[in-house]
DNA sequence: GAGCACTGC
C-alpha cells in the first residue's frame, strides 16, 4: 500500500520536557478524503487562531485533525486537547490516532475520561470527553496546559459543548495565541463562525454515497395514487408504526439485499413495529435498538449474519452508534426530546417532529457503504418547514446546575455569558429560584452570590439537588448511606427488564424492593452487590448481575461514582464518613446497614430527611377526590409503575370479601410521598 | 401499568 506523505516529519519538541517526538506525518489519501485538503487546512491553522472545520462523519476529520494541528506547529507550546462527546469515542479514536502515528497509546497520544486517565507528562495529543475539559476549567480557567483545543462534533450542542464554546470565546481574547478548532456537520457552521469573529470555515466532503429520498405521506402510503387526494383527512392518516411497517414491506418486496434501519421515537413503538413486522418478515433478523437494552443486547447490531437485517432504533442510531451495512432508512420523522418546563419545574419527554439537521443525519445513515434510499414518512413540505436545528440543550435544560457551576468557575452571570444561543429569561429565573430553594445563593445587593452551601455543592460532581442530600447527611450523620443513594440517583436505573423476560426480571428485583421507599431499595441493591464486587472475578460478577437482571456497566458506574464522591468528601476534614446506625462508619459495611434499615424507624427518618433536603418541591399528597397525587407548582401525577410504592388501581369488580362500595378497603398509595423526579411522558409520573 | 440520548477534577 502506498501512502502519500503530505508533509514530512520534522523534529518535534513538546513543551513540558523538550524531548523530540518523532512520529509519522502520513495522511492516507486512499482512505480519507480530508487528506486531499491537508495542505489547505495546515495553512489555515497557521494563519488563523480559530477555524471551523465542517465535514460529515466519514470524512476522517476526527482522526486526521490532531495530526494536522501538529503539522501546523500545534503541540509545541503545550498539549493539544481533542474533545469528544462520548467516552467510547474518545477511547477508540485516541487508540486509532496513536496507531496511525506509530506512537504508544497512553504516552504521546493519550486519553482522559472520568475514572480513567491514560495520559502522562509526555502526552502531546490528549483526547478527552468535553465534560472532562470543562472539569479542568475549574482548576485552570486559562487552560494553560494546552496550545491547541479541538472541539469535535460541536454541532451536537450539548450543555458541555455550549459551555466550552462560550468559555473559549472569552479565553481567546485573553490568550490570542491559543489555537481553537471547532468541527461540525456541514449544515451547522454559520453560527460557530459568527461566534468566533467570522472564523474561516473549511469544508471537507465526506466519503459517502448518494441517498435517494422518497417522501411517503402516511395517508397516501397505502395507494400509489396520490393525485387528487390532497384533502385526505387527518383521521384517516396512518399511524407512523403502520406506515413504517408498510414502508419496510415495500423495501423487502422490491429489493434483494441491504440492511434496513427504522427510526422510532419510543421503546414502545419499537416493540410494536417488531411485533407487526414479525409475521411477514421471517426471512430477516429483527433487531430492536435503544439505550436501555443491555450491552450484550446492543451488541447484536454489530454481529453480521447471513440474513438481511431490520434494525428498529431510537435516536441512539443517529449519533451514538454507527451501524454497518445500512442501505435503507425508514424515518418516522419523530423523536422523544427532553424539555424542562420552568413553570412546572418538571422535565417533559414529548414526542416531536425532528429538525432538518436530524432528518439529514438519519438519511446519511443509508449512504455509508453504497448508494441508499431514505423513506420519509412525512411530506417534503414538512421537511422544508421544520426547524433547521434541534434546539441546543442549553435552551431545553434545567439551568440550576449550569448557573451554580458558572458562578463557582468565576465565569460571571449567565445573563452575560456569550452563549451561542441564549437560554430563555424564564428558564434562567427558574434556575435561580431552585438554587435559592436549595440555599445555594443569596442576594447581596443587585447580584446573587453563592453561599457556603452553594460553593460546597459546586465541588460535588452531582446535580445540586443530589448534592443537597449529601450536605444534609453530615448533620444527620448518615453520610455513608446517603452517598450510596446520591450516586444511585446519578446513574441510570441498573435494573433491566428484557423484552422476553419481564416477569423473571420483576421477580428478581423484588428481592431488593423496600416496601416504603425506593431510596432504600437503592441501598438494598448496593448492599447485595457490595461483597460481590470486592470478592468476585469480573466474569462471575457479570454473571451475578445477569442473574439479578442488573446491568453490569451501570452497576460499575454506580460504584465508581460512589467511590469518587467518598474521595471528594474524605479530602475535606469536616466531612468524615458517618453512618446512621452506629456512628462508627468505617466499620459498617452496606450489608450491615441494610440489616438495620429493615427495622429502625429512626434510621428511616434520618435518611429521608437528607433526601428531602433536595426534594422540597417534589413532595406530593394523595388526592382521594380526584385520584393521583397533588404536588407543588400545580402538578398532578401518579406514582410510576416501576416504583415499589406503586399500587394497582382497583378494578370495577370488587373482590369477593370486600363490601360493596366500601372505599376504605381500596388499596391506596401512601398519603404523602416525595419523588426523586417528576417526569411527564404519556402522563405525569413521580 | 411503563421513560430519548449523552456526560463530570
Instruction: Give the single-character DSSP code of A163.
Output: H
Domain edge (last residue) among A614, A642, A676: A614
Which burial class, exposed, middle or buried, applies to A50 when counting CB atoms under 10 A from its CB (0-12, 13-18, 19+)? buried
pLDDT at A675 over 60: yes
Domain edge (last residue) among A614, A636, A661: A614
Query: Does residue A278 sit in the same domain as residue A339?
Result: yes
A252 lies in some domain: yes
Q: What is the pLDDT of residues A354-410, one digit of tens each?
A: 999 999 999 989 988 889 999 999 999 999 999 999 999 999 999 999 999 989 888
Q: What is the pLDDT of residues A23-43, one digit of tens each?
A: 666 666 555 566 678 889 999
Rounded Cα distance between A458 and A147, Å, is 28
Mean pLDDT of chain A: 84
Among protein residues, the one whose C-alpha sits closest to the C1' atom of B3 is A681
A21 lies in some domain: no
A293 lies in some domain: yes
Query: Does residue A510 sit in the same domain as residue A361?
Result: no
Among protein residues, the one whose C-alpha sits closest to the C1' atom of B7 is A131
Average pLDDT over residues A164-178: 94
Query: Does residue A91 sit in the same domain as residue A184?
Result: yes
- Percent over 70 (pLDDT), chain A: 83
Compute the C-alpha angle A381/A383/A387, nearest 5°: 120
What would the grid cell of residue A461 be?
Answer: 460532581
Query: Does residue A551 sit in the same domain as residue A642?
Result: no
Of A574 and A209, the structure prediction assigns the larger pLDDT to A209
Cell numbers 448533620: residue:
A475
Please tell me the predicted confidence (pLDDT) of residue A586.
Answer: 43
For chain A, counts of helices (H) and of strands (E) = 22, 26
A270, containing H or E segment: helix A267-278
Query: Does residue A573 sit in the same domain as residue A480?
Result: yes
Query: Does residue A248 sit in the same domain as residue A174?
Result: no
Query: Does residue A453 sit in the same domain as residue A478?
Result: no
**Please, are residues A134 and A160 in contact by the beta-carbon 8 Å criterion?**
yes
Please tell me the predicted confidence (pLDDT) of residue A636.
Answer: 93
Of A659 and A369, the structure prediction assigns the larger pLDDT to A369
Residue span of the structural domain in which A284 resides: 211-226+236-391
- pLDDT band for position A665 (50/70/90)? low
Taking the C1' atom of every nucleotide in all shown strands and the CA of A134, the nearest one is B8
Average pLDDT over residues A273-299: 83
Taking the C1' atom of every nucleotide in all shown strands and the CA of A648, the nearest one is B1
What would the grid cell of residue A195 be?
Answer: 461566534
pLDDT at A232 over 50: no
Across-strand partners of A79? A146
Domain of A184, CATH number, reads: 3.40.50.300
Q: How many domains does chain A have?
A: 5
Instruction: Count how many residues are written for chain A.
Output: 686
- pLDDT band for position A198 (50/70/90)? very high
Average pLDDT over residues A290-315: 86
Query: Does residue A629 sit in the same domain as residue A590?
Result: no
Average pLDDT over residues A440-454: 88
A509 lies in some domain: yes
Rounded Cα distance between A565 and A555, Å, is 15
- pLDDT band for position A583 (50/70/90)? very low
Taking the C1' atom of every nucleotide in all shown strands and the CA of A339, the nearest one is B4
Domain edge (last residue) among A588, A614, A640: A614
pLDDT at A231 over 60: no
**Please, are residues A289 and A317 in contact by the beta-carbon 8 Å criterion?**
yes
- At A496 the three-state DSSP class reads coil
DSSP strands (E only) in A122-227: 125-129, 146-151, 179-184, 201-204, 211-215
- pLDDT band for position A17 (50/70/90)? very low
A22 lies in some domain: no
Query: Does residue A625 sit in the same domain as residue A603?
Result: no
Please tell me the predicted confidence (pLDDT) of residue A571.
Answer: 80
How far, CA to CA in Å, does A139 sit from each of A13, A133, A144, A165, A381? 26, 10, 11, 18, 50
Rounded Cα distance between A620 and A638, Å, is 10
Among protein residues, the one whose C-alpha sits closest to the C1' atom of B4 is A336
**CB atoms < 10 A from the CB of A19, how many?**
10
Average pLDDT over residues A562-591: 67
pLDDT at A659 over 60: no
Looking from the CA of A327 toward its CB, the CA atoms found within 13 Å total 12
Q: What is the pLDDT of residues A52-100, one digit of tens each?
A: 999 877 677 888 899 999 999 999 999 999 999 999 899 999 999 999 8
Whole-number distance in Å between A527 CA and B3 C1': 26
Rounded Cα distance between A442 and A452, Å, is 10
Query: Does residue A199 sit in the same domain as residue A246?
Result: no
Whole-number distance in Å between A55 CA and B2 C1': 40
A19 lies in some domain: no
Query: Does residue A453 sit in the same domain as residue A433?
Result: yes
Q: A497-529 burial by CB neighbour count: b if 16+ within 10 A, else e? A: beeeeeeebeebbeebbbeebbbbbbbbbbbbb
Among protein residues, the one whose C-alpha sits closest to the C1' atom of B5 is A316
Looking from the CA of A349 toward its CB, the CA atoms found within 13 Å total 13
A3 lies in some domain: no
How far, CA to CA in Å, does A555 sit from each of A467, A529, A662? 20, 9, 45
Q: Which residues contact A220 (CB under 8 A, 6 or more apart)?
A: A226, A229, A232
Whole-number distance in Å between A580 CA and B8 C1': 28
pLDDT at A574 over 50: yes
- At A629 the three-state DSSP class reads strand
A192 lies in some domain: yes
Query: Does residue A300 sit in the same domain as residue A419?
Result: no
Nucleotides of chain B in contact with protein CB (under 7 A) are 1-9
**Please, are residues A523 and A603 in contact by the beta-carbon 8 Å criterion?**
no
- pLDDT band for position A678 (50/70/90)? very high
Kindly give the interhelix angle for A552-570 and A538-547, rounded to the nearest 10 degrees.
110
Rounded Cα distance between A429 and A94, Å, is 41
Q: Is the torsion defined by CA of A138, A141, A143, A148 positive or negative?
A: positive
Taking the C1' atom of every nucleotide in all shown strands and the CA of A265, the nearest one is B4
Among protein residues, the one whose C-alpha sits closest to the C1' atom of B1 is A641
- Residue A350's nearest CA partner among A284, A287, A396 is A396
**Please, are residues A148 and A162 in contact by the beta-carbon 8 Å criterion?**
no
Rounded Cα distance between A179 and A57, Å, is 23
Please tell me the predicted confidence (pLDDT) of residue A24.
Answer: 63
Please tell me the predicted confidence (pLDDT) of residue A579.
Answer: 64
Taking the C1' atom of every nucleotide in all shown strands and the CA of A115, the nearest one is B8
- Residue A48's nearest CA partner among A199, A169, A187, A160 is A199
Of A413 and A577, the structure prediction assigns the larger pLDDT to A413
Which burial class, exposed, middle or buried, applies to A679 when counting CB atoms under 10 A from its CB (0-12, 13-18, 19+)? middle
Whole-number distance in Å between A186 CA and B2 C1': 38
Taking the C1' atom of every nucleotide in all shown strands and the CA of A681, the nearest one is B3
Q: What is the pLDDT of residues A18-27, one digit of tens each?
A: 444 566 666 6
Amino acid at each position: 500500500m502506498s501512502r502519500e506523505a503530505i508533509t514530512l516529519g520534522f523534529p518535534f519538541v513538546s513543551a513540558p520536557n523538550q524531548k523530540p517526538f518523532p512520529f509519522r506525518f502520513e495522511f492516507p489519501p486512499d482512505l480519507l478524503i480530508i487528506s486531499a485538503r491537508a495542505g489547505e487546512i495546515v495553512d489555515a491553522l497557521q494563519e488563523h487562531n480559530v477555524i471551523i472545520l465542517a465535514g460529515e462523519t466519514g470524512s476522517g476529520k476526527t482522526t486526521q485533525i490532531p495530526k494536522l494541528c501538529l503539522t501546523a506547529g500545534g503541540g509545541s507550546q503545550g498539549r493539544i486537547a481533542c474533545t469528544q462527546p462520548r467516552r467510547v469515542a474518545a477511547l477508540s479514536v485516541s487508540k486509532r490516532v496513536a496507531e496511525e502515528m506509530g506512537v504508544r497509546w497512553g504516552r504521546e497520544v493519550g486519553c482522559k475520561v472520568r475514572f480513567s486517565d491514560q495520559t502522562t507528562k509526555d502526552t502531546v495529543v490528549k483526547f478527552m470527553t468535553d465534560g472532562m475539559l470543562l472539569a479542568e476549567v475549574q482548576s485552570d480557567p486559562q487552560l494553560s496546559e494546552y496550545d491547541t483545543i479541538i472541539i469535535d462534533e460541536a454541532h451536537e450542542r450539548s450543555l458541555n459543548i455550549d459551555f466550552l464554546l462560550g468559555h473559549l470565546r472569552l479565553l481567546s481574547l485573553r490568550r490570542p495565541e491559543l489555537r481553537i478548532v471547532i468541527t461540525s456537520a456541514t449544515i451547522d457552521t454559520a453560527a460557530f463562525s459568527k461566534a468566533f469573529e467570522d472564523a474561516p470555515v473549511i469544508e471537507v466532503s465526506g466519503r459517502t454515497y448518494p441517498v435517494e429520498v422518497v417522501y411517503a405521506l402516511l395517508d397516501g402510503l397505502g395507494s400509489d395514487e396520490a393525485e387528487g387526494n390532497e384533502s385526505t383527512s387527518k383521521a384517516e392518516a396512518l399511524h407512523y408504526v403502520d406506515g413504517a411497517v408498510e414502508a419496510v414491506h415495500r423495501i423487502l418486496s422490491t429489493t434483494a439485499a441491504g440492511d434496513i434501519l427504522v427510526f422510532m421515537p419510543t421503546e414502545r413503538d419499537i416493540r410494536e413495529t417488531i411485533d407487526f413486522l414479525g409475521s411477514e418478515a421471517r426471512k430477516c433478523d429483527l433487531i430492536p435498538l435503544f439505550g436501555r437494552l443491555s450491552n450484550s443486547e446492543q451488541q447484536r447490531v454489530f454481529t453480521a449474519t447471513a440474513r438481511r437485517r431490520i434494525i428498529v432504533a431510537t435516536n441512539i442510531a443517529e449519533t451514538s452508534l454507527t451501524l454497518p451495512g445500512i442501505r435503507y432508512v425508514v424515518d418516522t420523522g419523530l423523536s422523544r426530546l427532553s424539555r424542562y418546563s420552568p413553570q412546572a419545574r418538571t422535565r417533559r419527554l414529548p414526542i416531536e417532529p425532528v429538525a432538518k439537521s436530524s432528518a439529514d443525519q438519519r438519511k446519511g445513515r443509508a449512504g455509508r457503504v453504497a448508494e441508499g434510499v431514505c423513506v420519509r414518512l412525512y411530506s417534503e413540505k414538512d421537511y422544508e418547514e421544520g426547524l433547521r436545528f434541534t434546539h441546543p440543550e442549553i435552551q431545553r435544560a434545567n439551568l440550576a446546575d449550569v448557573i451554580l457551576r458558572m458562578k463557582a468557575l468565576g465565569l460571571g452571570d449567565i445573563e452575560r455569558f456569550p452563549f451561542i444561543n441564549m437560554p430563555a429569561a424564564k428558564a434562567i429565573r427558574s434556575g435561580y429560584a431552585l438554587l435559592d430553594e436549595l440555599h445555594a445563593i443569596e442576594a447581596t445587593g443587585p447580584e446573587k452570590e453563592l453561599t457556603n452551601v452553594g460553593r460546597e455543592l459546586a465541588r460535588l460532581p452531582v446535580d445540586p439537588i443530589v448534592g443537597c442530600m449529601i450536605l444534609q447527611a453530615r448533620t444527620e450523620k448518615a453520610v455513608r448511606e446517603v452517598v450510596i443513594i446520591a450516586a444511585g440517583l446519578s446513574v441510570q436505573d441498573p435494573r433491566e427488564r428484557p423484552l422476553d423476560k419481564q416477569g423473571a426480571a420483576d421477580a428478581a428485583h423484588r428481592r431488593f424492593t423496600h416496601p416504603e421507599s425506593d431510596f432504600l431499595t437503592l441501598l438494598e441493591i448496593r448492599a447485595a452487590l457490595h461483597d460481590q464486587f470486592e470478592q468476585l472475578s469480573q466474569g462471575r460478577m457479570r454473571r451475578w448481575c445477569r442473574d439479578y437482571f442488573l446491568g453490569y456497566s451501570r452497576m460499575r458506574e454506580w460504584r465508581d461514582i460512589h467511590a469518587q464522591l467518598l474521595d471528594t468528601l474524605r479530602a475535606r476534614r469536616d466531612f468524615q464518613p458517618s453512618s446512621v446506625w452506629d456512628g462508627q462508619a468505617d466499620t459498617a459495611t452496606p450489608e450491615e446497614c441494610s440489616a438495620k434499615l429493615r427495622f429502625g424507624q429512626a434510621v428511616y427518618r434520618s435518611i429521608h430527611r437528607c433526601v428531602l433536603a433536595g426534594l422540597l418541591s417534589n413532595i406530593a399528597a394523595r388526592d382521594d377526590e380526584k385520584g393521583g397525587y397533588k404536588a407543588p407548582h400545580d402538578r398532578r401525577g401518579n406514582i410510576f409503575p416501576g416504583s415499589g410504592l406503586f399500587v394497582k388501581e382497583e378494578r370495577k369488580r370488587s373482590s369477593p370479601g370486600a363490601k360493596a362500595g366500601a372505599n376504605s378497603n381500596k388499596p391506596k398509595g401512601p398519603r404523602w410521598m416525595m419523588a426523586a423526579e417528576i417526569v411527564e411522558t404519556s402522563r405525569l409520573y413521580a
